[in-house]
Chains A and B, each alone.
Chain A
Amino acid sequence: MKNFRWFVPTLYILFLMAPIYWLLNMSFKTTNEILGGFSLWPKDFTIDSYVEILTNPVWYNGYINSLSYVLLNMIISVSFALPAAYAFSRYRFLGDKHLFFWLLTNRMAPPAVFALPFLQLYSSMGLFDTPLAVALAHALFNIPLSVWILEGFMSGVPKEIDETAYIDGYSFPRFFVKIFMPLIASGIGVTAFFVFMFSWVELLLAKTLTSVAAKPIAAVMTRTSSTAGYELGLLAAAGVLTIIPGAIVIWFVRNHIAKGFAMGRV
């Protein structure tokens, strides 16, 4: 029995990895081979799909567009959520608890609800089809989430540290940047990660609020067929490239994320 302890986890990992492997497998095949039949590995190994994506502006602009609104959204969300979370964690004001809870309700509605109002609003303001439009729309969901996560981390820092800093002579901005932010660095990391994840994965708003100039990669990927017929190899390669940024971000925050979960805020 002892010698089979590896068996169940291995089986589990195999199941988890299967679709990812299949995607990777497909991305190195030609479309003909994919449609031709079942093969566990590419018989006719090719990197043409990747070359196509990295050289064709229609494809690689999709990545640039996606990354630019995701990054923009991360900056907006975290920089607005930091002061808001600090206020929730340190001050008592009229209706603070209700307001804090109300933030969460923003996340209860599906993004689709907001697609129409955003589309009309941004069209009339000339924001339509820009990365900023998507970034702002995503902020509606990401700022509440960020406030919620950051507040948990901030409340873990004793208020007396703030006061000691003031007594030492720190002004508020200086204290916040030099003392406080390093203290909640892992909180900021975890927040950035979740913000990234939502914004990177979200498709509906990103697709609705853009047409050509700011078209996200997920939208590009969904044009499954072209004049040349099905391009499954190309789509698979795009899928692989879409997973990579997420994997990189997870790698950076892997040590902090457990802390976020332990605080029960994520």
Chain B
Amino acid sequence: MLELRNVSKRVGAELHIRDVSLKLEPGSLNVLLGPTLSGKTSLMRLMAGLDRPTEGSVWVDGKDATGVPVQKRNVAMVYQQFINYPTLTVYENIASPLRLSGASKAEIDAEVQKAAKLMQLTEFLDRTPLSLSGGQQQRTALARAVVKKADLVLLDEPLANLDYKLREELREELPKIFAESGTVFVYATTEPTEALLLGGNTATLNEGRVTQFAPTVEAFRNPVDITTAQTFSDPPMNTIEVTKTKNTFNLSGGAQLIVPKGYWTLEDGPYTIGFRAHHLKMSSPAETTKNEPLKAVVLITEITGSESFVHVNCTGQNWVMIARGVHNYDPGDAIELFIDTRHLLVFDAEGTTIHSATEQQAA
């Protein structure tokens, strides 16, 4: 088990990690989700023991491990860049942690062969890492993490530089490989989709703070505040300022929305509402027919094939809509939109979530 207690890290005048407390259970899969520079790598370095926290403490299995050097901890780490020992063969690269732990020759060979097979590297064992492709180099690094059987495995965006097919394969494989041995598995990513695919628990990071730590789906459905919702949303969550008076939300641009069932208990007053891109529709969802369509101007359309990402300007806000199928609008086209108000997130002035869709309604 790994526990961070009120950990902060200051580098120069900058605070890279702000008062983070986390408890990671053995055998658990934990995702660190946050944009670049949100502190994912800094946090992992503190977990590994590569850096010492400026404040707070790191506990491993109930013992204070704050000052324990990384060599004395049983940790494995894989970086986003493909990091291997360029002068050693792939075999020696994978064997390196075993050699240092003093394993016997037969043992090393068995483990290396097993890991190499798992990572499909068997035929490259005699080559040096730099003569391999990027994917193979990263699999070498992963194989080294596998053979170590560490208590804590840290993967820092390990698949970010790999091609699409390999990513999907490894994303499915990796958690399984490490789950078996009861390790604490930590996986950093910038992509909400990847977090959802991995499952487990997710800690959302923003500017060095952990904004929420909860089971991944739970964090996605019920973000505690607007920052978490933004971090855990791809494309970005659409937001708008509204004022609630009785049973209408008055939008800043003058339009109105009928307050849907389940939100009636909100007090009148100003709020920020948020909704995901796929809750912005081109046709009226059945239960909100009473709402007038919102007028919007198309800014740009990105077509991925099965979906179109339509960037629009509506009531003075820039929003993104995901629509099924190919919709080839030209910039400047006027379209009419509907918000599926059943899935609104409502935030107060501080950005704290005060109402999110209940589980049955959430999609």
**Please, which residue of chain B has its CB at the minimum distance from the CB of A174?**
B100
Q: Which residues of A contact B144 (CB under 8 A)?
A: 164, 168
A44 at the interface (CB under 8 A from B): no
* Chain A CB within 10 Å, residue with most, of B79, B81, B85, B96: B85
Q: Which residues of B contact A182 (CB under 8 A)?
A: 87
A56 at the interface (CB under 8 A from B): no
Enumerate B296-327 residues with CB–CB distance to A below 8 Å.
none
1/0 per residue, CB under 8 A from B, across A144-172: the answer is 00000000000000101101111111110
Asked if A179 meets B87 with Cβ closer than 8 Å, knowing A160-B81, A164-B77, A168-B96, the reply is yes
Stretch at the interface among B24-32, B68-76, B339-347: B68-76
Cβ of A169 and Cβ of B71 under 8 Å apart? yes
Which residue of B76, B85, B86 is within 8 Å of A167 (Cβ)?
B76
* Chain A CB within 10 Å, residue with most, of B71, B100, B101, B141: B71
Count of chain B residues with a beta carbon within 8 Å of a chain A beta carbon: 23
Interface of B is mostly: mixed
A140 at the interface (CB under 8 A from B): no
User: How distant is the Cα of A166 from the Cα of B141 in the complex, in angstroms?
Assistant: 14
Cβ of A169 and Cβ of B101 under 8 Å apart? yes
* Chain A CB within 10 Å, residue with most, of B76, B100, B141: B100
User: How distant is the Cα of A161 from the Cα of B87 in the complex, in angstroms?
Assistant: 11
1/0 per residue, CB under 8 A from A, across B79-115: the answer is 1010111111000000011001100000000000000
User: How distant is the Cα of A161 from the Cα of B48 in the complex, in angstroms?
Assistant: 15
**Please, which residue of chain B has its CB at the minimum distance from the CB of A161?**
B83
* B277, chain A: closest CB distance, angstroms: 36
Q: Which residues of A contact B84 (CB under 8 A)?
A: 161, 164
Cβ of B70 and Cβ of A167 under 8 Å apart? yes
User: How distant is the Cα of A164 from the Cα of B145 in the complex, in angstroms?
Assistant: 10
B118 at the interface (CB under 8 A from A): no
Cβ of A179 and Cβ of B85 under 8 Å apart? yes
Cβ of A168 and Cβ of B148 under 8 Å apart? yes
Q: Which residues of A contact B166 (CB under 8 A)?
A: none
Count of chain A residues with a beta carbon within 8 Å of a chain B beta carbon: 15
**Please, which residue of chain B has its CB at the minimum distance from the CB of A182?**
B87
Q: Which residues of A contact B48 (CB under 8 A)?
A: 167
A183 at the interface (CB under 8 A from B): yes
* A185, chain B: closest CB distance, angstroms: 8
Asked if A163 meets B50 with Cβ closer than 8 Å, knowing A168-B96, A169-B71, A169-B100, the reply is yes
**Please, which residue of chain B has its CB at the minimum distance from the CB of A166?**
B70
Interface of A is mostly: helix
Enumerate A159-216 residues with CB–CB distance to B below 8 Å.
160-161, 163-171, 179, 182-183
Task: Work out how many contacts link A and B, with CB atoms closer than 8 A.
Answer: 51
Which residue of B50, B88, B101, B148 is within 8 Å of A166 (Cβ)?
B50
User: How distant is the Cα of A241 from the Cα of B87 in the complex, in angstroms?
Assistant: 37
* A94, chain B: closest CB distance, angstroms: 12
* B213, chain A: closest CB distance, angstroms: 25
* A93, chain B: closest CB distance, angstroms: 13
User: How distant is the Cα of A168 from the Cα of B50 in the complex, in angstroms?
Assistant: 12
Cβ of B100 and Cβ of A158 under 8 Å apart? no
Cβ of B50 and Cβ of A170 under 8 Å apart? no
Asked if A183 meets B101 with Cβ closer than 8 Å, knowing A166-B70, A166-B71, the reply is no
Asked if A167 meets B100 with Cβ closer than 8 Å, knowing A179-B85, A183-B86, the reply is no
* Chain A CB within 10 Å, residue with most, of B70, B144, B148: B70
User: How distant is the Cα of A171 from the Cα of B101 in the complex, in angstroms?
Assistant: 12
* A170, chain B: closest CB distance, angstroms: 6
User: How distant is the Cα of A171 from the Cα of B72 in the complex, in angstroms?
Assistant: 10
User: How distant is the Cα of A165 from the Cα of B69 in the complex, in angstroms?
Assistant: 13
**Please, which residue of chain B has its CB at the minimum distance from the CB of A168?**
B97
Asked if A158 meets B87 with Cβ closer than 8 Å, knowing A168-B96, A169-B71, the reply is no
* B184, chain A: closest CB distance, angstroms: 15
Cβ of A171 and Cβ of B71 under 8 Å apart? yes
User: How distant is the Cα of A9 from the Cα of B329 in the complex, in angstroms?
Assistant: 64
Cβ of B70 and Cβ of A158 under 8 Å apart? no
User: How distant is the Cα of A212 from the Cα of B96 in the complex, in angstroms?
Assistant: 54
User: How distant is the Cα of A167 from the Cα of B70 in the complex, in angstroms?
Assistant: 6
A-B contact sample (5 more), CB < 8 A, given A161-B84, A170-B71: A161-B83, A164-B85, A165-B85, A167-B77, A183-B86
26 residue pairs of the A-B complex, CB under 8 angstroms, read A158-B81, A160-B79, A160-B83, A161-B84, A161-B85, A161-B86, A163-B70, A164-B79, A164-B84, A164-B144, A166-B50, A166-B69, A166-B70, A167-B48, A167-B50, A167-B71, A167-B77, A168-B96, A168-B144, A169-B71, A169-B100, A170-B71, A182-B87, A183-B85, A183-B86, A183-B87
**Which B residues lie at the A interface, using CB under 8 A?**
48, 50, 69-71, 75-77, 79, 81, 83-88, 96-97, 100-101, 141, 144, 148
Closest 4 CB pairs of A and B: A169-B100, A182-B87, A168-B97, A160-B83
